[in-house]
Chain A
């Protein structure tokens, strides 16, 4: 397999795992805008253990997930009291604090970054992504998944139905944080080098958008969202240079003929985010759509004439 394709599969797998981590929080009604923070915790935990204690990769991957998960649970309890804007801000602030702490910790390389031994090939993150996807699909079929979705829809009624809001939210947020951490650990071992700047606020925003645009009603959403936006730049390699010249001229600049950078990908992500929120805020993949595609849906007699 060519290195190019191997690189794409590795980053795709890492993004899918990351997206599932954020999905678990969002599906239970918690907008987690601190994804990069949890990914950084996982990446640095795995990297540090690997570089300093020489632990085998299997253990450092696990450790990355566990440490990020514990941090997630520790954060989930106090922020349970916050909702809406406050929750978004709290998770966002958490990620900034993590990045700041890493930058100021010499043992983690500070601003210099950190080399991570124990290289893993693309197959390993890919297997990881498949396992994580199966896990999340399974979780969504359980009563735990049902209560998560119920809390997303109506927290007060879920409580009256006997759902322990606290337990479900903390568990969903914590497992999600662990998955984000796992994606960071895979990243560390696949790229072999990590730096705090690689886990900035934009990363948190991108992954949340992958999840929301893919759709949060089913486990298919994050998979489709992450895959689409990871593969998009590959699709657009040919189209973009021309578009770039138009925009540069429009803004009063002089086209220099250089190849467009990845900024373009994010312009498109932004446009899609705005368009989806205006037209189809539930995201691309909805439950109804999955039911239709899976041919399980029967039409109920007498249902057609009676709508509100």
Chain B
């Protein structure tokens, strides 16, 4: 198959009088590692929520893998291959690590038979989930309840949970937030590994170091508008992007990191 994996066409969304997303269009090429950046409040997470179906857009269309999914219920999107992580970790606190990952398999296991067969030690779902955790080098005990685990590991588990759906496009919302430099470097290798497995990655991230070393392309949002769509190498030379960042309180921290 060819063509972009994801296409946003003229998306707009307002909350009350505030135009959060204003006529945004861009494409995510198949197999790309793409960044969605912009100052705080630019509408990045809203774009994610529009893509995953948490919000319905006021205008515009979301086209995934050649199919218009604008009106598709949020629950069905992950089954098509659109999986995401969240800005604030949203793992199920009372589920163990492996159970959280098995929850990620749900889109492939929703039949009545799969729902009613046990997920014991010999179940193929559990073995798949454990294998995926091992592949991704998460060497914590998989039976541990996630509420007690450290932040960095939970952040990674959330990515693995999304991967368990075997997505075509993985959307990550600030995966490096709250991580120290060595954890961030590990996360980068982890994402490269995922990408080499053939999964397209769209990432919202403030850490420009991570963005530049991971992504080849970037789109930049400011006040809900698209102001840049091109390579990550040139993004910091773009006058509009510079203005957006320097005019905001993130001037010093983001772009030159």
Contacts and interface: CB of A to CB of B under 8 A. Distances in A.
Interface of A: 138, 141-144, 146-147, 149-150, 152-154, 156-165, 217, 287-288, 291, 296-303, 306-308
Contact of A143 (B75, B76, B125, B153): B125
A163 B75 contact: yes
A155 to B, nearest CB: 11
25 contacts: A141-B120, A142-B118, A142-B119, A143-B102, A143-B114, A143-B117, A146-B102, A149-B94, A156-B54, A159-B74, A159-B75, A160-B52, A161-B103, A162-B75, A162-B110, A162-B165, A163-B110, A165-B75, A287-B145, A288-B148, A299-B141, A300-B144, A303-B149, A306-B153, A307-B150
A150 B143 contact: no
A112 B95 CA distance: 49
Contacts of A287: 94, 96, 145
B99 A146 contact: yes
Contacts of A307: 148, 150
A141 B119 contact: yes
B79 interface: yes
Nearest to B141: A300
A298 B115 contact: no
A302 to B, nearest CB: 8
B150 to A, nearest CB: 4
A291 B99 contact: no
B223 interface: no
By CB atoms of chain B within 10 A, which of A144, A152, A217, A307 has the most?
Answer: A144
Nearest to B99: A146
A42 to B, nearest CB: 24
A288 B75 contact: no
Given A142-B119, A153-B93, A147 B75 contact: no
A150 B102 CA distance: 11
A107 B141 CA distance: 60
A163 B106 contact: yes
Contacts of B115: 142-144, 147
Contact of B54 (A143, A160, A306): A160
A160 B118 contact: no
B128 interface: no
Given A144-B116, A161-B165, 9 more contacts: A149-B99, A159-B74, A160-B77, A161-B106, A162-B165, A165-B75, A300-B139, A303-B149, A307-B150
B80 to A, nearest CB: 10
Contacts of B119: 141-143, 146
Nearest to A216: B94
A303 B140 contact: yes
B151 A308 contact: yes
Contacts of B148: 288, 307
B217 interface: no
B90 A154 contact: yes
Interface string B102-136: 11101101100011111110000100000000000
B116 A154 contact: no
A150 B92 contact: yes
A157 B76 contact: no
B84 interface: yes
Contacts of A291: 143
Contacts of B114: 143
A205 B47 CA distance: 45
A153 B109 contact: no
B190 interface: no
B57 to A, nearest CB: 17
Query: Which 8 pairs across A and B sit closest by C-beta, in order of nearness?
Result: A162-B107, A300-B141, A306-B150, A153-B92, A162-B106, A141-B118, A144-B115, A162-B78
Contacts of B79: 162
Interface string B61-84: 000000000000011111100001
Contacts of A165: 75
Nearest to B100: A150
B95 A288 contact: no
A138 B102 CA distance: 17
A237 B149 CA distance: 46
B203 to A, nearest CB: 18
Contact of A308 (B54, B86, B92, B150): B150
Contacts of A300: 139-141, 144
A308 B178 CA distance: 11
Given A153-B94, A156-B54, A147 B145 contact: no
A162 B76 CA distance: 6
B94 A152 contact: yes
A143 B141 contact: no
Nearest to B142: A300
B86 A157 contact: yes
A85 B148 CA distance: 30
Contacts of A144: 115-116
A287 B146 CA distance: 12
Nearest to A138: B118
A157 B92 contact: yes
Given A138-B118, A300-B140, A147 B84 contact: no
Contact of B106 (A141, A147, A306, A308): A147
